[in-house]
Structure 1
Amino acid sequence: MKTIGRMIGFDRVLIRENERAVALHKGRFMGILVPGEYWLRNARGTLQIEVHDLNDPEFVSSFDDALFRVMPDVASEHLTEIRTGSMEVAVILRDGRFFSVLPPDGRTVVWTQTGPWSVERFDVSETIEVPRDAAKMLRRATKHARVVQAEITQNQTGLLYVDGEFVRTYGPGAHLFWDVGRKVDMRLIDTRWQSVDVSGQEVLTKDRVTIRLNVAADYRVVDPVKAVASVQDFYETLYRALQYAFRKALGAKTLDQILENKVTVDDEVANKVKSHMAEIGVQVGEIALKDVILPGEMREILNQVVAATKEAEANVIRRREETNATRSLLNTAKVMAENPVMLRLKELEALEQIAGKVERLTVHSGTNGLMNDLVSLRD
């Protein structure tokens, strides 16, 4: 039969259950072939068969538009066409499960037999944020869903920009946006207290001594929109503000003033920095001048000065104590001279101290002559 068919100009065409075929004879549509065996005229190669595997539900063919135009009834019987408007997004569901997203002004054709198919449409003329119900379904298929996902954690604020233009702020949570020909960017701003360190900042003091400073400050962003819109990098702005403020303030003071009044210097600089940063939505907390590092030669000189100062203070204290001791002895002598009983008590105290240091003590002439005559100490 196969040989006879070919001899008279017919070809055998076999369409399986998982296949469909578009048939053309002499360049004209014959229709869509369903599963089965066909003997079709193919004189001199005039038969053209385009086989489609239904494992791929989408109908992709160069004859797509022509088939709907020439044979609309046949096309509508086997194919489902889905279109979207200029400001519309469609979520295509296959058997109730997510299949794909069709962007604005989009079109796709699927094989009806691979369904059932359903479509959910969303208007993106007002907002590109994905509704909560749809987001749950799309979040599991973000690779194929034409959406942009933004995860905002606690203590963060999200700033949404569409085509470079700020739209609004978002709080913590997972947010999805339609990726439909617009550039969607979510910038995350941390609103917690953070620290900035300015290390090794060199300053020339009023008395021409070069010192290095280490400055630390705490800050947090209280107005993310203003902080991002006002400057390119608010962290860098704070860093430079600390640099310039301390350099200007300390450059007008001598080394002794800086070393003696570090807290006062901090207060003078802090108000300027805080006021400047508040204008761009950044709150600055504590500012501290952590270290003042001197050149090696200057450290040796200062150490010598400190040592000499402390030595002088020690001499003054020793002289003061010697004077106090002498004055105390003079007062004691006056009391004894005016009070014989007190002198007697002192003699007895001396006797007690001596007796505690020897084995035997011999006293002649009684106690009256103890201090006036003779005291014999024997081993």
Structure 2
Amino acid sequence: MAIFKKKLQVKPNTKGYLYRNNNFEQILNSGYHEFWDFKNRIELFCLPTSSKLIAVTNQEVLTKDNVALRFSFNILYKITDGQKLLTQFSLDRQITYIILELEQRICNIVQIFLRDRIAEMDSETLNEKRNELTEFKTEEMENQVFPFGVTIEHAQLKDLTFPKTIQDLFAKHLEAKVRAKADLENARTKVATARTLKNASELMKGDDNIKFFQLLETIGKIAEKGKHTFNFGDITQLTKNESAK
């Protein structure tokens, strides 16, 4: 009678969905299972329970200001309801092809959302806010994949590549901004220096000691030019007289 028994294997990190006479019968956990199958009408579909990564590369899109760019993104998804998933696809093929079609549908949904998000921004804004697109999963996106029995854990923008001419323009714009900032800082420094010198000058105007040293400096310069005779009384009184004039 053993010839009428069928041994089925469910590998680790998967769940088995057993169909008899083309009707769902039960869910099997990982391990080996034996069933009577007199008419050879049992079929097993195994689906992964771990998260799966989809990498999409080299996609094109136009920004709001009609700049063509390329982008790549990653999707991390997980099958949460395998029975629901199997009701959405034709089961007349191997499970590998069912998973491929599932991932293609997920990619199409996610790509449309990302394209729409990029297309509503002009290139300069997009370049400034590209970090905000790193994680772009939305509730609406989740709702659209829910009928497949899956959930999207992450939808992340990986690369965003502008044409070379646009990259050069961005580089020049950044250089101009840095130069303008440096010029502004230099101007502020000059204004602060001028203000300090003016304040110092105001303080020096009424200082008798400063005037005394200025007088000595003037006398020294005159003396350097030749032989001169200077007659002084009280030199401090002279500075006071100079101040009184």
Give TM-score scaled by structure 1 length: 0.49
Deviation at 1:371, TM superposition (A): 8.4
1:311 aligns with 2:179: yes
1:151 aligns with 2:10: yes
State the partner residue of 2:71.
213
Compare CA radii of gyration and give the structure with the larger one: 1
State the partner residue of 1:165.
23
Q: Which structure has more strand as a fraction of its residues?
A: 1
Deviation per CA, 1:173-201, whole angstroms, max 9, x where unpaired?
Answer: 22123343224322221122232222111
Deviation at 1:370, TM superposition (A): 9.1
Q: Supply the distance in 1 between the matched residues of 2:85 and 2:164 (Cα, whole angstroms).
A: 42
Letter in 1 for 2:141: V
Q: 1:328 to 1:290 in 2, by over 3 A?
A: farther
Deviation at 1:305, TM superposition (A): 1.9
Q: Supply the distance in 1 between the matched residues of 2:20 and 2:170 (Cα, whole angstroms).
A: 61
State the partner residue of 1:197.
55
Q: Supply the distance in 2 between the matched residues of 1:339 and 1:285 (Cα, whole angstroms).
A: 76
State the partner residue of 1:359.
none
1:325 aligns with 2:169: no
Query: Secondary structure, in 3 states, of the residue corresponding to 1:303?
Result: helix
1:249 aligns with 2:117: yes
Q: Supply the distance in 1 between the matched residues of 2:203 and 2:48 (Cα, whole angstroms).
A: 79
State the partner residue of 1:272.
140
Q: Supply the distance in 2 between the matched residues of 1:199 and 1:250 (Cα, whole angstroms).
A: 16
State the partner residue of 2:44.
186
Q: Supply the distance in 1 between the matched residues of 2:155 and 2:206 (Cα, whole angstroms).
A: 67
Q: Supply the distance in 2 between the matched residues of 1:206 and 1:329 (Cα, whole angstroms).
A: 53
Deviation per CA, 1:267-315, whole angstroms, max 9, x where unpaired?
Answer: 7763332221123221112222222101122212222222222222221
State the partner residue of 2:216.
372
Letter in 1 for 2:146: A
Deviation per CA, 1:33-77, whole angstroms, max 9, x where unpaired?
Answer: xxxxxxxxxxxxxxxxxxxxxxxxxxxxxxxxxxxxxxxxxxxxx
Equivalent residue runs for 1:1-379 within 5 Å:
90-91=1-2, 101=3, 103=4, 146-153=5-12, 155-231=13-89, 232=98, 233-262=101-130, 264=132, 270-337=138-205, 372-373=216-217
Query: Secondary structure, in 3 states, of the residue corresponding to 1:230?
Result: coil
Q: Supply the distance in 2 between the matched residues of 1:370 and 1:252 (Cα, whole angstroms).
A: 71
Long gaps (5+) in structure 1:
1-89, 92-100, 104-145, 345-367
Q: Supply the distance in 1 between the matched residues of 2:152 and 2:137 (Cα, whole angstroms).
A: 12
* Equivalenced residues, count: 209
Letter in 1 for 2:114: F
Q: Supply the distance in 2 between the matched residues of 1:170 and 1:287 (Cα, whole angstroms).
A: 30
Deviation at 1:219, TM superposition (A): 1.6
Give TM-score scaled by structure 2 length: 0.72
Deviation at 1:202, TM superposition (A): 0.4
Q: Which has the higher contact order (CA 8 A, sep 6+)?
A: 2
Q: Which structure has more helix as a fraction of its residues?
A: 2
Letter in 2 for 1:218: L
Deviation per CA, 1:231-266, whole angstroms, max 9, x where unpaired?
Answer: 453222211112222123322322123223335556
